[in-house]
Amino acid sequence: MADVPAGKVTTYGDLAGLAGNARASRVVGGVAHYGNPELPWHRLVNRFGGLAAGFHGGRDVQAQLLMQEGVACTNHVVDEFKERRWHPTQR
């Protein structure tokens, strides 16, 4: 998560793939929920660009944090998701 730049988002599956198992997206979700709060977990979304149901404070808080970085969301989905999506190969 530390590599995901401001103004970009990535998916649970993308991070799982970076860790060596693209099918372990649920594990990434668990890490996100209990992981280091200093990391930018608000930049983590589902494969459709949807905000996290379990985000601390809820989806509205996640949307606000993303908006502060210039990432707009509509109905809890990242606008222009394909353009905003950061892939692990972009390190």
Q: What is the pLDDT of residues 1-15, one digit of tens each?
A: 999 999 999 999 999
Residue-level pLDDT at 22: 86
pLDDT of residue 91: 57
> What pLDDT is recorded for position 33?
87
The mean pLDDT value of the chain amounts to: 93
The pTM assigned to this predicted structure is: 0.92
What's the CA gap between 5 and 81, in Å, rounded?
Answer: 15
Predicted pLDDT of residue 90 = 58
Task: Look at domain 10-85 and name its CATH class.
Answer: mainly alpha
Domain chopping of the chain, boundaries? 10-85
Note the pLDDT of residue 88.
72
Residue spans of the chain under pLDDT 70 = 90-91
Q: Which of 17, 25, 19, 59 is nearest to 42 (CA)?
A: 59
